[in-house]
Structure formats: C-alpha cells, structure tokens
C-alpha cells in the first residue's frame, strides 16, 4: 500500500493542472472515539488531534491527498477505556484519499467531499487495521497560495479480533478540524 500511495501522489503531481498543483496542510481539531463495544466502557471519548497532509490538484475539481493524523495531540491527551483495567488508547492513521471540489465566488470558496482508505495504529490492539475515510469540508482561499479550511472526517475501522475474516467490532473516529493549506 505504501508503494501504491507514493506512486499515485507522484503520478498526480506530474499531471497536475497549472491552476492547481501540489499543496501542504496542517490542522488541529477535536476527535471523538466510538470503540464499537470492544471495551467494557469508554471513560474519555474526546481528544485533541493533529492533522498533516500533502496532495496535488489533478484539475480544478479533483485532488489526491496523503495524510497523517495523530488523534492524541499531547501526552496528557488520550482516549481512556475500561476493560480488565483502565487503559489509555492512542491512535494514529496514514491515509490516501481523493477529494472532489466545487469552487464558487470566483474560486474563493471551495466545498469538497473526501473518500479514502488508510492504515490505523492503536496501541492496545496487537496489529494495525484498515480504515475507510469519508469527509466533507469547506475552504476559503485568501490568495493563490493560502487557504484555510474547516472539515469533518469520519474514520470507520472494522476490527477482527479472532482472525476469522469477519468483523467483530465496528469502531469509528469522528474528527472536526481547521487547517491552513499552502499551495505551490
């Protein structure tokens, strides 16, 4: 998957529209954790999150993005669950996604929808898991280089506890964040 991600981003960057092109972004937000009854109870289900992403506009209406999200922005900030004992849950994810854009008001306002997939790492689960990513957002472009956006992302994680190829737990992460984006 990492090779495919690198290939798609490189290929998209080479074919990027002159009016589009590559971009980098950094965001900060609040996430909410739903463990799908994996644990006995969730004591603290909110956490601050950091978002980093890089992408390329293929044209005015389509972009491809590689992102990293740390759902526990500081050492004192983690989800807390109770099972046999009380545990801190730390989560991070690497994703690749496609964004469909609709710009209006002379390209100042941009509405978009996101669809993607990624790999999520959770500290109290032995292996990494596959995650589907859905999101919507709105961006405001100050000039041709700087953009600020408000976004909502939903990560859906199907966890197979006993490796029998069935979903035992359907976990979700909801993330609302604001980001600053720089386009080159």
Summarize pLDDT for 147-156 with one digit per residue, the tens. 999 999 999 8
In whole angstroms, what is the distance from residue 136 CA to residue 151 CA?
A: 6
pLDDT digits (tens, 9 = 90+) for 3-59: 555 555 555 544 444 366 899 999 999 988 876 666 655 666 678 899 999 999 988
**Complete domains list, the chain, with CATH:** 2-183 (2.40.160.20)
The pLDDT of residue 162? 58
Residue 124 tokens, joined: 């109290």
Spatial CB neighbours of 77, under 8 Å, sequence gap ≥ 6: 47, 48
Instruction: Give the pLDDT score at 134.
Output: 95
pTM value is 0.80
């Amino acid at each position: 998957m990492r090779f495919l991600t690198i290939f798609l981003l490189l290929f998209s960057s080479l074919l990027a529209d002159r009016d589009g092109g590559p971009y980098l972004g950094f965001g900060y937000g609040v996430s909410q954790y739903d463990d799908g009854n994996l644990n006995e109870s969730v004591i603290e289900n909110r956490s601050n999150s950091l978002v980093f992403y890089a992408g390329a506009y293929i044209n005015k209406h389509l972009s491809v993005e590689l992102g990293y999200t740390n759902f526990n922005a500081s050492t004192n900030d983690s989800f807390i669950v109770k099972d046999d004992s009380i545990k801190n849950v730390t989560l991070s994810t690497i994703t690749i996604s496609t964004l469909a854009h609709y710009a209006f008001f002379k390209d100042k306002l941009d509405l978009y929808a996101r669809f993607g997939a990624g790999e999520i790492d959770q500290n109290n689960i032995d292996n990494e898991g596959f995650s589907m990513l859905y999101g919507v957002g709105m961006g405001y472009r100050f000039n041709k280089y700087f953009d600020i956006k408000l976004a909502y992302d939903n990560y859906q994680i199907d966890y197979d506890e006993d490796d029998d190829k069935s979903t035992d737990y359907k976990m979700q992460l909801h993330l609302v964040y604001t980001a600053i984006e720089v386009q080159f």
